[in-house]
Amino acid sequence: MAIRTIFITNALNNIPENAYFVQLASEDGTYAIKELDTGTVIKSSGQDVINTEIGKYEYTFGADDTKTYLVSWEVQQTNKDLPVYKVQQIGPFTTNADRIRAVYDYQGSFKQGEMTLLKLKITNFNGIAQDPSFIQITIKDITGVIIKVATPPEKATKGFYVYEWAIPLSQASGGYIAIWEYIIDGVERNIIQNIEIAENPLVDNMYSGMRYYMRLGLESYLMCAQNIPVYFEQAKTSIDDVTYRLSFPNWNQSPGCKVYRNMNKLLTDGFQVDYFKGEIIFDQQLSDFDSVYVDYNFRWFSDQVLDQYLRNAIRTFNSYPPMGNYNFNNLPDKYISLVEKQAAVDAIRQLMLCLQFQEPQKVFGGPEQADKVFSNLETIKQNYETEIKEIYATKINFGYVGLTRAITTPEYTLPGGRSRWFRELFSTNAG
């Protein structure tokens, strides 16, 4: 059990200002703080808070580092206003055995009646795939009500698991969480993913349909580049000495990370990890004399970048005769591997370009080792390009079925002679 301080800020026209009345209380009066998973009330409604500075209110309580909580604040701006209730979903939540809190993994916005695909890749720190002895996924709504439990989800390949949730048409709109629980070497680990369900999602969903499967296929060509370990990198501090940034974003969650303070002290609490931005956010300000070092495992290519390579590859495919107007949804199955290889070539080119610069070179062991990697990547790229060129050379011979064709039959005569039709036509005109 750790002592945690939670807070809320109040402002008017973006200027901090004290409210007339603030306390921890829910609108229905049932809780102030409760566990998200079980709904167990930790603090009853009506808890006093401390006004530590203008517009800031704090409350300290004993929190379990393996739990996620809902906190409800009651704020009355003036004595004439009705109270407003603000609900926070707070950590800490354990994402690995080291009890490191993390920003949740967002998996997209889905529509009722759609198929939702949730995936989990499990590797050790060096990026080697691992299978757990136990794994299950639980989907809950924001209040903690269990919607679905799957034990085990579908195993696609070693260390890679997929769960397909057919969202009912009657499923309520709003936020949902998927909690992956698995055991590696006798140690239980947890990862949370956020999803949104809406009648008409405003954003293009990246995590369903053929687009999703093609991205997974592209990642199979770039597997090692999507699991790169970095050891003991010194973090760059921000102005407030609270947020520390590392060189590369898009960290993989399942390997976790290790955070060191002043080179030798391994930290297991007092901070939060943003795996997407590659940041460590401390609960309290560090001094100017503190240094932070981090071990982490990251993906070179984000999902958005991989999607762009696939779009470019489809456009290239469309430009070769017979020309077409294909996209993620109607590309023929027999050409998917071609498009994925074309996208892999673009990704390898980008990686080779990055190897010309100092920071990426350090990841691969310095300039000399980066030159060797560059040479190997060039060989792989050329092999893909040769195969792609051969396939495009034969593409012109297929795909015309159903198109309008003209067939002509030539008429041949003996050397120096004329066809019967020509002689008859000439005689008639001459007469």
Chain Cα centroid distance, residue 323:
33
| Gap between the Cα atoms of 138 and 149, Å rounded | 4
Instruction: Convert the pLDDT of each residue in 120-174 to its tens digit.
Output: 888 887 878 888 889 999 898 877 788 988 887 888 778 888 888 888 888 888 8
pLDDT at residue 91, rounded to an integer: 62
Handedness of CA 265, 266, 270, 273 (dihedral sign): positive
pLDDT band at 97 (very low <50, low <70, confident <90, very high): very low
At residue 208, does pLDDT exceed 80?
A: no
Query: 271 Cβ partners below 8 Å, 6+ apart?
Result: 100, 101, 259, 280, 281, 282, 283
Q: What is the dihedral of CA 150, 153, 154, 157, to 10 degrees?
A: -170
Domain boundaries, the chain: 2-90, 94-207+228-299, 303-395
Kindly give, in sequence order, each residue whose CB lies less than 8 Å from that of residue 229, ignoring residues fewer than 6 positions away.
Answer: 125, 126, 127, 255, 295, 296, 297
Residues 133, 219: contact at Cβ < 8 Å?
Answer: no
Nearest to 294 by CA among 349, 343, 246: 246
- In angstroms, the CA 334 to CA 402 distance is 18
pLDDT score for 96? 46
The yes-or-no verdict on residue 377 having pLDDT over 90 is: yes
Q: How far apart are CA 163 and CA 334, in angstroms?
A: 26
CB 306 within 8 A of CB 250: no
The residue assigned the tokens 């566990």 is 35
Residues across the chain = 431
Average pLDDT over residues 354-371: 89
pLDDT digits (tens, 9 = 90+) for 278-332: 999 888 888 888 899 999 999 999 888 999 999 999 999 999 888 889 999 899 8
- pLDDT reported for residue 400: 52
- The answer to whether the CB of 46 falls within 8 A of the CB of 24 is yes
Tell me the backbone φ, ψ of residue 338, rounded to 5 degrees: -65, -45
Per DSSP, the three-state class of 316 is helix
Q: What is the mean pLDDT of the chain?
A: 82
Yes or no: say if 314 and 306 are a contact pair by the CB < 8 Å rule: no
The pLDDT-based confidence of 98 (bands split at 50, 70, 90) is very low
User: Would you state the pLDDT for residue 205?
Assistant: 60
> Which CATH number does the domain 94-207+228-299 belong to among 2.60.40.1930, 3.40.720.10, 3.40.50.300, 2.40.10.220?
2.60.40.1930
**Closest by Cα among 351, 358, 357 to 374:** 351
